[in-house]
Chains A and B, each alone.
Chain A
Amino acid sequence: MLRAGCQLLTQSTLPAVKTGSNGFALEFVRWRRKPRWLPVAKSKIFRVPERKKQTEEERTELMRLHNRYKTQLRSVRQYLREEVVRHEETSTVDHIVLTPEQEEAEYQALIAANAEWNATIAREREQRLAKERDEKVAYVHERLEARQLRDEERRERANEAVLREIERSKTYITREGLNAAIETALANPVDPNFAIDMAGNLYQGRTTSQLPDADPQPDQQALSN
């Protein structure tokens, strides 16, 4: 295939091959045989290849060896042919010869082996399933206990919240005490505004100011804060 590919490549550069020069830089080093359709090179036209010299002695010796070899090989081949025939006759590779009783016995033996195997696996499976069941039960118990604990905590928290609300409900403003509460609030106005001077003194209130007083009452609490 590589040679074919090489030929395909060289066909496009056929003139280059004929003139012996390569038109472009691509040159195959590995398969640079001369194509079969080119004639014999001019320098080789009148070259007569020299025959390998073989002495008479060597030729007769080789003849003797070849005759002997052929005889021996023939007998070896004969032996191997007989061996193959013998093997084909005695071999039971491609056809199984068994009587029905033997087949039945083999079948029963296989069934028994299979049953034994099944029993072993069933035993292992039973053990495994029992273990898994125990683990599952333990897990469920654990989860149930955890849930009980959680519920109790939650109930306790709710109880605390309810008690806290009951405690606070003592100071609630009810519909009956509404007027009194309004009056109290009007009587005690609260002003969250305040001012701070450079010394850090705190002056509470804007409209409820104590400024006209010559002696303001600075709240030292701001400094402490």
Chain B
Amino acid sequence: MSLSPASGIGRFYKHSAKIIRFVRLGCTNRPFYHIVVMERRKNQHQPVIEQVGSYDPLPNDFNERLVALNTERIRFWLGKGAHISDPAAELLGVAGLLPIHPRTYMTAWRNRRKLAEEQAEAAAAGQAESASASA
């Protein structure tokens, strides 16, 4: 399917459920997302109602992951009662528009725990090495 314009040509019913979510563009091993408003029941590659941002999850040369958000329109659509998908909610939470999503906290403490375990393992391995070297 050809790329639909970001200005939005998606048709929608007045009272249908809308959702703010990602559309995966890019290609294999190179994700890129548009943050769009569209009807909840539709496939992600259908024409959108409106594009409200973009998200590049891979860090660039300066170790930045770029996000662009049209906060005015996001506020409008949320006020109109649009739903939010979980990844979009996480991103908006980190961006400061919404409260921080619980999954963000979860990922953070899991990462911390993993890091601590790795460090402990490394320390143990270092101790064992030094012990064997002294013996």
- Using a CB–CB cutoff of 8 Å, the interface residues on chain A facing chain B are 1, 30, 58, 62, 65-66, 68-69, 72-73, 76-77, 80-85
Complex alpha-carbon distance, A62 and B110, angstroms:
12
Closest-CB distance, A212 to chain B (whole angstroms):
112
B28 at the interface (CB under 8 A from A): yes
Q: Mark B61-93, 1 if CB is under 8 A from A, else 0.
A: 000000000000001101111000000000000
The reply to whether B28 and A30 contact each other, CB–CB distance below 8 Å, is: yes
Give the number of A-B contacts (CB < 8 Å).
Answer: 38
B57 at the interface (CB under 8 A from A): no
Query: Interface residues of B, CB < 8 Å — how many?
Result: 15
Q: Name 27 interchain pairs, CB-CB below 8 A, sorted by A.
A: A1-B1, A30-B28, A58-B106, A62-B106, A65-B102, A66-B102, A68-B99, A69-B99, A69-B100, A69-B101, A72-B98, A72-B99, A73-B99, A76-B78, A76-B98, A80-B75, A80-B78, A80-B79, A81-B79, A81-B80, A81-B81, A82-B79, A83-B75, A84-B76, A84-B79, A84-B80, A85-B79
Q: Mark B1-35, 1 if CB is under 8 A from A, else 0.
A: 10000000000000000000000000010000000
- Using a CB–CB cutoff of 8 Å, the interface residues on chain B facing chain A are 1, 28, 75-76, 78-81, 98-102, 105-106
Complex alpha-carbon distance, A80 and B98, angstroms:
11
Question: With a CB–CB cut-off of 8 A, which chain B residues contact A62?
Answer: 102, 106
Closest-CB distance, A99 to chain B (whole angstroms):
30
Assess A77 versus B78: contact at CB under 8 Å? Given A30-B28, A62-B106, A65-B105: yes
The reply to whether A83 and B106 contact each other, CB–CB distance below 8 Å, is: no
Complex alpha-carbon distance, A92 and B109, angstroms:
49
Question: With a CB–CB cut-off of 8 A, which chain A residues contact B81?
Answer: 77, 81
Complex alpha-carbon distance, A113 and B99, angstroms:
52
Question: With a CB–CB cut-off of 8 A, which chain A residues contact B100?
Answer: 69
The reply to whether B1 and A73 contact each other, CB–CB distance below 8 Å, is: no
Question: With a CB–CB cut-off of 8 A, which chain B residues contact A68?
Answer: 99
Closest-CB distance, A199 to chain B (whole angstroms):
100
User: Who on chain A is nearest to B75 by CB?
Assistant: A80
Question: With a CB–CB cut-off of 8 A, which chain A residues contact B1?
Answer: 1
Question: With a CB–CB cut-off of 8 A, which chain A residues contact B101?
Answer: 69
